[in-house]
A and B are shown apart, each in its own frame.
Chain A
Amino acid sequence: MDANALRGHLDLILLATLEHAPLYGVRIIQEVQARTEGYFQFKEGTLYPALHRLEKQGLIVGELRPSDIGGPPRKYYHLSQKGRQELTRRQLEWQAFAQAMQAFGGTR
């Protein structure tokens, strides 16, 4: 996956990944890879700055919880109300874009 294409959609991907349950970094990466069948392979170090950015924007909220495998506490992120609205907005935007692009996709 081209890094620039990923960057353009990273926020939508992260917000959508957190839509149903709070997750921490490693689990977010696994979830993204599982949901896209490995299509999105991002450098993991870029995940945390992106999460921190979304947190600063008030779209997600981080919360420390103890690790169940005896390690350091994990930081779980969940969507805020504002994040949920932003996710819906971006999903609608993406759907409209994808629909418009169908005309050029050669599948008709």
Chain B
Amino acid sequence: MIYKHDTSKPNGPLALSEGMRLHLEIARLSAYEMAEKIRKRELSVQEVVRAHVNLSNTVNADLNAFIHIGAEYAEKRAREIDAKLARGEVLSPLAGVPVAIKDNIATNFMPTTAASAILKGWTPPYNAHVSELMLDADMVVFGKTNLDEFAVGGSGVYSAYGPTSNPWSLHHSAGGSGSGSAAAVAAFCTPLALGSDTGGSVRQPASFTATVGAKPTYGAVSRFGLLAMASSLDHIGQCARNVLDAAILADVLYGHCAKDATSLDKEWESMQDAALAGKRAENAFSGLKIGVVRQYEADMVHPGVWDNFLLILQYMQDAGAQIIEVDAPSFLLSVATYYMLMSCELFSNLARYDGVRYGPRMGEELSAIHSMQKTRSLFGPEVKRRVLLGAHALASDNYTQCYAAAQRVRMLARQDYANAFEQVDVIVSPTAPVSAFSLDAAFSPAPPNPEEAYRADMLTIPANLAGVPAISIPSGFSEGLPLGVQIVAPFGLDREMFFVASMLENLIIDRLKINFDLFATAGKLTTTTAPKGASASDFPTGDKHTTASKDGDTPSK
């Protein structure tokens, strides 16, 4: 029941009926364009919202991207915002734009379940800080998106509501844990969505669905109201179809929040300005120092992924960027470190779900303690596995060699980033070592070897350990499935991340001569790998270790 994946679903990309295709005229707009048309009253908010809600309701049968779609609520909000516009009130840059929220972020106007049976039907009495900010910005929150239960997982299969399908191929996963947000954005159900990123849960699904997923500096966006998975690693991030949209949403979300003690008390520059500057920059790659991690080797990732990554490096070098190897030995330990720390915090964070104060209660006839125990059996298997791992690691006999040791490695990861950023402006890598997993085989009913699945997070995890900002943008396709490239910037330099990401986005679209529009591209990509024009051999591969100079300078061709 939990891992329901309908194999009778036709394989291949999501298809739309002619009637639904009409909605694309509005839904294909970027958030930036949509907001502008709303401001100029060329589109009413009601028209915009209806198009997205109809599309979402229809495609959700195929995608299972939404746990809740609040059509009536959205309609009412849209009317209110239209009325404000009619009165000539000055509204925020994203006024009237629809947005979906990952279902582990609290909304007091829609249920918030974290895709867990243990929170079935629960609506919080408060909004998350980010929900509040988006309401204040007159955005229309119209739905809650699917995820792995409590964001625990990397494939979306661990949802009590069943897995989400990848719009690019319905028999493939949309990644995880933010499967629903990424799929919804890719399928034009919404231009923007919120995700949470603890080990890559915004970026990896973005990579699998040819969308943009950004994770801020730790503390830039308030976590108040995010149902905690691992507090020290959790970040709320943006899902969009382009870098500029993600940046504009960042401007709504960034800022100090008194309700979150880990929130940074910092004035943030405009991310929109940074992204626009990147978009408009000519030749700004020259002089830019791009870091690649020496420890990442070709055999650690799928060949198609590595080829695509080398191609992107080639494009950047061609555009004048300097490619520099940086040393980050601790990154090879990051998966073990992450799973240790995350499990410990998860164990404790999920302890509160006991049926006493909210959510369904099991064993009502039993004593309080036994009822609590029975209620907790509602957790799914992967949550249980990691909670047990955390309980084991935190036991006083194991604390030193488990939790404490992992904390020390975490410090090393921070140090490795700090050292690297003395030499380079940003660090790039593939976002994930693979393209989207098949829902038919590997994850039914559960991965045979969890460690193997955990290793799929290896490229995204270091940024969570260090709290540095990171973004994934579409970089091409391998065997018809999307790939992503990740850009990591120094702590607090989110503007640099958006600037470079925006520039690179332009460069990739320009050089690949394709766009990442599902309905324009999908059918034509079934056998496409990286386009012609450049090959992996153009760029130094395995032997670069020996040819690279000591100071990490670019190896010569």
Q: Are A and B physically bound partners?
A: no
Binding site for A on B (CB under 8 A): none
- Chain A residues within CB distance 8 Å of chain B: none
